[in-house]
Amino acid sequence: MRRSTATTPTRTRSGNRWTLPNLGVGVGLRTTHYHHLLTEQPPVAWLEIISENYMQTAGRPLHVLDELAERYPLVMHGVSLSIGSTDPLDRTYLAELKALRDRIGSPWVSDHLCWTGVAGRNNHDLLPLPYTEEALAHVSARVRQVQDVLHAPLMLENPSTYVAFAGSCMSEWAFLAALCQNTGCGLLLDVNNVYVSARNHGFATSTYLDGVPWDRVVQIHVAGHTDNGSHCIDTHIGPVIDPVWQLFAEAYQRSGGASVLLEWDAEIPPFPVVHQEALRAHDFVASGAIPIPRARAAGPAAGAQGTAARRGISSPRSRRA
């Protein structure tokens, strides 16, 4: 497999404790955009993949992934780790996850604070956890096991939720902060999920942000959602509304700068439309003290960063695309 030997491009460092790079503004890799990315090579800063779409597979998906890894930094985001499940961790899945990380040189691996199934069955959804001391101890032990396999910190995303457990004894942000403290894991902060959950449960988004351990935030997600008046649903459809962008701008400054990713997973328009929406992130932090790195033209230098990760430079499944 051909890998570039070009010099690794300089990247702005984030404020996270691992000094993992701020990659700039990226978009989620979706099959409908394969052709455009391969033929036009647009100057997008980086791409996020759904890990499970490139595991237990061969042929075109991995061929496309290898081609794109030569041109862009690729970051892995999973939906089937099921970190909160009571089932034993799937060791085969973890080995495949690590192998994919090593193949493409992903600078970090993320998944969700949720469970996706039980008794060996995958529900193919991101199900909420009770925020209790017992659940915290259970998830902490499992995160440590995953990190032992990856030999790097796992990044976990805050979920969007629609119901709360009566037995919960702490807030979601307090649970996440304690989990980071217990395990050394990091956070993928989804500001759209913060907004959606705040609307559904009636808490203030500022209260959530006040509870986030910002030195653990490596990446920020933004996305569209569906507002049904009485509640919101995290559908990843359509443009991001301004209140979510404003929440993003505050989170970005508090984090000291983190890699930004736009998710658009349904009714997906052509790539230039998605990319232009992602680049609105620059407008919302334009007056702040911490700029977002701009994308460079696609080329072998992007692949060099992946090569560095594959050589061991230290860094830390529900819906399928």
CA distances to 88, 155, 257, 294, 301 from 11, in Å: 38, 20, 12, 10, 12
- As a whole number of angstroms, the distance between CA 20 and CA 220 comes to 13
The model scores a pTM over 0.85: yes
**pLDDT value at position 140?**
98
Give the pLDDT confidence score for residue 9 in this predicted structure: 37
* Selected residue with higher pLDDT from 6 and 310: 310
Q: What is the mean pLDDT of residues 291-314?
A: 56
Q: Decide if pLDDT at 142 tops 90.
A: yes
Contact between residue 174 and residue 212 where contact means Cβ atoms under 8 Å apart? no
Sequence spans of domains, the chain: 12-113+123-303
Which tens digit of pLDDT belongs to each residue from 227-241? Answer: 999 999 999 998 999
Label each residue of 208-227 as H, E or C: HHHCCCHHHEEEEEEECCEE
Mean pLDDT over each residue of the chain, to the nearest integer: 89
Rg of the chain, C-alpha, whole Å? 18
Q: Which of 144-153, 186-195, 280-289, 299-308 has the lowest mean pLDDT?
A: 299-308
At the topology level, CATH places domain 12-113+123-303 in: TIM Barrel (3.20.20)
The predicted model gives 55-76 an average pLDDT of: 94
- pLDDT tens sequence across 89-114: 999 999 999 999 999 999 999 999 99
Per-residue pLDDT tens for 245-302? Answer: 999 999 999 999 999 999 999 999 999 999 999 999 999 999 778 999 998 776 654 4
Distance of alpha carbon 287 from alpha carbon 298, whole angstroms = 28
